[in-house]
Chain A
Amino acid sequence: MSDLVDVTLKVNGSDVSHRVPARTTLADFLRQTLELTGTHTGCEMGVCGACLVLLDGTVVHSCLTFAVQASGSAVETVEGLTERAVIADLQDAFHQRNSLQCGFCTPGMLMTAYSLLSQPGIPSRDEIRDALSGNYCRCTGYEAIVDAIETTARKRAEEVDA
């Protein structure tokens, strides 16, 4: 159970290399080995969405991915998206609309929203709700999250038009 494997990958733009037990999940690798605690684990079975990260640009459950599976790939977490300032408008919309309370689900929500907003067009509220349905939130009741994503989509579309 404790066989060690080398894991070499790019995380938030930086090269990292560690030797970890083979059973280490990507979530635990990010949180414990790299101390990137913005990624959360809420169920560890791929249901709640708190652990979502980008693996080579695709949103994945880091709790269902072994760290070794990400070797050779590029991973981006909420810390990375924040540093790159690519979700600054989304984070501001969440802040202004109070689209988070305890904040535990929020990094996963931002990942889903980032991915959704990378698609062309302005998603409808139903489409936003559909996209968010792999992300549990127990505090907000979701409406404020939908509002913030919708606001961001519209603002981005206006900026493109302008």
Chain B
Amino acid sequence: MSAITSLDRPNSYIGHSVPRPNAKRLLAGRGRYVTDITLPRMLHVAYVRSPYAHARIVAINADDARAAPGVRLVATGADLAKLCTPWVGTMDHFKGMKSPPQWPLPIDKVVWAGQAVVAVVADTRALAEDAAELVAIEFDELPAVVDIDAARDPDAPMISPELGSNLCFQGKIDTGGVEDVFAGAAHVVEEEFLFGRHTAVTMEPRAIIADYDASEPKLTVHHATQTPYQFQDIYARHYGIPEACVRVIAPDIGGSFGMKLHMYHEDMAVVGLSIMLGRPVKYVADRMESFVSDIHARDHRVRARMAADADGNILAMDVEDVTGIGAFSAYPRTSVVEGNQVYRLMGAPYTFRNYRADLQVVFQNKVQMSQYRAVGHPVACTVTERLVDMIAAKTSRDVFDIRSGNLIPDDAYPCTSPTGYKFESLSHHACLAKIREMMDYDGLRAEQAELRKQGIHRGIGIATFVEITNPSPAFYGVGGVRISSQDGAILKITPSGDVRCLISITELGQGTETIVGQIVAEHLGVDRDRIKVITGDTETTPHGGATYACRGAGIGGETALQAAQKLKGNVLSVAAAILQEEADKLDMQAGWIVDKATSQQRIELAEIARIAYFRSDTLPPGTQAQLSVAHHYAPEGYPFAFTNGVQACHLELDVETGFVKILKMWVVEDCGRVINPLLVDEQIRGGVVQGLGAAFFEECIYGESGQLTNGSLADYLVPMAVEMPDIVVAHVETPTLDTQLGAKGVGEAGTAAASAAAMNAINDAMSPFGGTIAQVPMTPARILKALGHI
């Protein structure tokens, strides 16, 4: 399953670890990120931001700024509103959800501290920032709505009075019978969980260059995003430019993790500024701006209880989730998706059937909250897995035993979760058995007991999970949002017999171009180094969903596979005409047309291309030499391809200081067909570390007046190398039968369960002392509090 050997059949790439061809460029310092790009006559924008979380804009005086050196334009919300129609971040299938209209810059009031209010465009960023300091804005401060309970008080100040309350959305799920089950259960455990806000902290901040040319008209946007087609649609619709005249280019992207697929006000404003100036305008968020304007994630308070019988068989869950999303719902994907996934993913690995949940999505005067890696999964997983451990403790069962007794059996599929998710085929028990062996669970328990006698407190935590991948139109399309769930590929054979693949899924460093190259090479029958994969440009690549929700390999990969098969059919039909052979007796291998039965080489692909492109006169009349194909694939069958897995965390807790040393993590994961183990394992490792960041370090801390108090990289803690453990990764492969490729997604699995495993491990380490913790991040102070030391 790893490196390719001489024993492998020709063009056997799927399932092998091959390094990324495009990584060499990045290693040589030749990456081309939006932050690196300079266009002729390009200007730079700096924004004047609100110091208040909630305030009316009384007056703006920008005369001094307009007169400052190098300044070309100062624009306000009213100026941009003349060009850009407002947007509303709702989806139809979230019944009753509300959100106020948004404009590039606010017109009459600000709703979070750090909101951009005035744009100053100048010859350099430094000059723009100088002039921005000269803008005087008079604010009338309003009471800030910060706390999720205070926001729901009927007497609370309303952020958007026209909506009638600070409630964005309320959802309920009830299978019925929950009260009776709890009333009759032998064991009931309950807990209140707190999940802090955190944020993506991509190493490259958000960056965008908009260049409007009125003569065509033509809008070209270099945009550090994972979803260029979505932004092509948004810019076209909101600025009234024909879609075909809008080009969005996503070159090298310095990290995204879901953060760079939302509409940001500054980014929308940049397009308007370029239209106003007729010149390219660049905006790069500095790190302080990132903290107060990038989406945040999580911010949930979950009160949950779980019922079990006397033997520890789980019978029901009852959940109340309240989540704070900022002053409006993000556009175009909304800020309800995370809460929706939280309350639908609860208990998903288990067999119980009785479930009740209430979700409240609340407006507050904070930065917008929306989708970031593993949307909702860590919350649902942590709540479920902690409650399962509490049932285990109540019934004196081991944490592995309680899970093997309650997880959906591996032969019980297909089946449906109590919340309506349809599972094609999962492998919880195979994963559980594998991780137990990998981590030497019994050995670790024996060591733990021994070390406790010496005053060393180690903890072992496990967490099972399911992950939503390969979403169908059920995810966004049905909600009336123009976000595609299909992908497209164009495959072309060049006159030299090389292959170019232009595909709608995008490269963020996760290896899209590499796996697409592997798939095309294998299914077309050419060497991988003859395939050039091109992504991230709406002008050249077909429209598609691009990269979100772990869909690239599963949906984009299947698109590439089917396109390759289609092209191969075309090539073989031309070859058959040239060779006077039946096409179904031919095949392709290593860039040659071969005899299917004997693999004997008949004619080289390059020769077919030469004849087709330059000597079509020598082909039999009527030969269709179609050496380019365009192909689209949309997922069918299951609405989502669910994956599953289990993580384990081993750590050592210093009970005097509350400091934690994470010793090791293990992950067994089932993402179906593994296309490139090297890349898949690194997706998991990177995801685990983001999950551990949330578990121990990362939190956007707000003061009572709605000020973010730790909005810099010196204050907001990101996991560092020295704090992170080695992570052992293994796989169980249950391919989805919905596609030929069989691949499901993997990008979020690491993040989904890492914090849950960590929380279970901390509670395990604290168990001799009777303290428990149910809040992330689990900082030393919170651990010491749980231990009763402070």
- Candidate in B19, B286, B750 with the most chain A CB atoms within 10 angstroms: B19
A118 within 8 A of B: no
The stretch of A67-75, A97-105, A153-161 in contact with B is A97-105
A101 touches B682 (CB 8 A): yes
Q: How far apart are B561's CB and chain A's nearest CB, in angstroms? A: 23
A94 to B19, CA, bound (A): 10
Interface range on chain B: under 10, 10 to 19, 20 to 34, or 35 or more?
35 or more
Which residues of chain B are near A125, meaning CB under 8 Å? 726
- Candidate in B20, B69, B511 with the most chain A CB atoms within 10 angstroms: B20
B255 touches A139 (CB 8 A): yes
B31 within 8 A of A: yes
- For A112, the closest partner residue in chain B by CB is B721
B27 touches A96 (CB 8 A): no
B203 within 8 A of A: yes
A91 touches B31 (CB 8 A): no
A78 within 8 A of B: yes
Which residues of chain A are near B31, meaning CB under 8 Å? 37-38, 103-104
B682 touches A142 (CB 8 A): no
Which residues of chain A are near B255, meaning CB under 8 Å? 101-102, 104, 138-139
Convert B676-717 into 0s and 1s, putting 1 for each residue whose CB lies closer than 8 angstroms to a CB of A.
Answer: 001100100111111000000000000000000000111000
Q: How far apart are B662's CB and chain A's nearest CB, in angstroms? A: 12
A104 touches B204 (CB 8 A): yes
- Candidate in A36, A78, A126 with the most chain B CB atoms within 10 angstroms: A78
Which residues of chain B are near A35, meaning CB under 8 Å? 38
Q: A39-B29, A40-B203, A106-B26 are in contact. Are A139 and B509 (CB under 8 A)?
A: yes
Q: A23-B126, A104-B33 are in contact. Are A138 and B203 (CB under 8 A)?
A: yes
Q: A102-B204, A103-B31 are in contact. Are A40 and B685 (CB under 8 A)?
A: no
B27 touches A145 (CB 8 A): no
A94 to B127, CA, bound (A): 39
Among B26, B36, B127, B722, point to the contact of A100 (Cβ < 8 A): B26
A54 within 8 A of B: no
Which residues of chain A are near B685, meaning CB under 8 Å? 140-141, 143-144
A44 touches B27 (CB 8 A): no
Q: How far apart are B206's CB and chain A's nearest CB, in angstroms? A: 12
Which residues of chain A are near B721, meaning CB under 8 Å? 128-130, 132-133, 135, 137, 142, 145-146
A2 to B621, CA, bound (A): 72
Q: A141-B685, A141-B689, A143-B726 are in contact. Are A42 and B287 (CB under 8 A)?
A: yes
A26 within 8 A of B: no
B724 touches A138 (CB 8 A): no
A143 to B725, CA, bound (A): 8
- For B69, the closest partner residue in chain A by CB is A2
Among A32, A42, A47, A135, point to the contact of B714 (Cβ < 8 A): A47
A98 touches B682 (CB 8 A): yes
B35 within 8 A of A: yes
A40 touches B35 (CB 8 A): yes
Interface residues in B290-313 by Cβ distance below 8 A to A read none
B201 within 8 A of A: yes
A98 touches B19 (CB 8 A): yes
Among A43, A95, A104, A105, point to the contact of B713 (Cβ < 8 A): A43
A157 to B508, CA, bound (A): 35
Q: How far apart are A118's CB and chain B's nearest CB, in angstroms? A: 19
Which residues of chain B are near A162, meaning CB under 8 Å? none
A77 to B718, CA, bound (A): 25
Which residues of chain A are near B508, meaning CB under 8 Å? 101-102
Which residues of chain A are near B26, meaning CB under 8 Å? 100, 102-103, 106
A42 touches B722 (CB 8 A): no
A79 touches B718 (CB 8 A): no
Convert B500-511 into 0s and 1s, putting 1 for each residue whose CB lies closer than 8 angstroms to a CB of A.
Answer: 000000001111
- For B689, the closest partner residue in chain A by CB is A141
Which residues of chain A are near B712, meaning CB under 8 Å? 43, 45
A89 to B357, CA, bound (A): 55
A133 to B719, CA, bound (A): 9
Interface residues in A1-60 by Cβ distance below 8 A to B read 1-2, 21, 23, 31-32, 35-45, 47-48, 50
Among A1, A42, A102, point to the contact of B509 (Cβ < 8 A): A102
A42 touches B203 (CB 8 A): yes
Interface residues in A101-132 by Cβ distance below 8 A to B read 101-107, 110, 125-126, 128-130, 132
Interface residues in B403-426 by Cβ distance below 8 A to A read none
Which residues of chain B are near A45, meaning CB under 8 Å? 287, 712-714
Q: How far apart are B191's CB and chain A's nearest CB, in angstroms? A: 29
Interface residues in B177-209 by Cβ distance below 8 A to A read 200-205
B130 within 8 A of A: yes
B202 touches A138 (CB 8 A): yes
Which residues of chain A are near B29, meaning CB under 8 Å? 36-39, 77-79, 82, 107
Which residues of chain A are near B33, meaning CB under 8 Å? 37, 40, 104
Q: A101-B508, A143-B724 are in contact. Are A91 and B287 (CB under 8 A)?
A: no
Which residues of chain B are near A102, meaning CB under 8 Å? 26, 202-204, 252-256, 508-509
Among A32, A95, A136, A139, point to the contact of B24 (Cβ < 8 A): A95
Q: How far apart are A145's CB and chain B's nearest CB, in angstroms? A: 7
- For A101, the closest partner residue in chain B by CB is B509
Among A40, A101, A104, A133, point to the contact of B510 (Cβ < 8 A): A101
A141 touches B688 (CB 8 A): yes
Q: A101-B509, A104-B33 are in contact. Are A44 and B718 (CB under 8 A)?
A: no
B682 touches A136 (CB 8 A): no
B52 within 8 A of A: no
A138 touches B257 (CB 8 A): yes
A102 to B25, CA, bound (A): 11
| 6 A-B pairs with C-beta separation under 8 A | A37-B31, A79-B29, A101-B511, A103-B254, A104-B33, A106-B26
Q: What 10 pairs across the A-B complex have the smallest Cβ distances? A: A38-B29, A103-B26, A101-B509, A104-B254, A78-B29, A102-B509, A141-B689, A141-B685, A37-B36, A132-B721
Can you add 11 more A-B contacts, CB < 8 Å, to A91-B24, A103-B509?
A: A37-B29, A37-B35, A37-B36, A42-B204, A42-B205, A44-B287, A78-B29, A96-B19, A139-B509, A141-B750, A143-B685
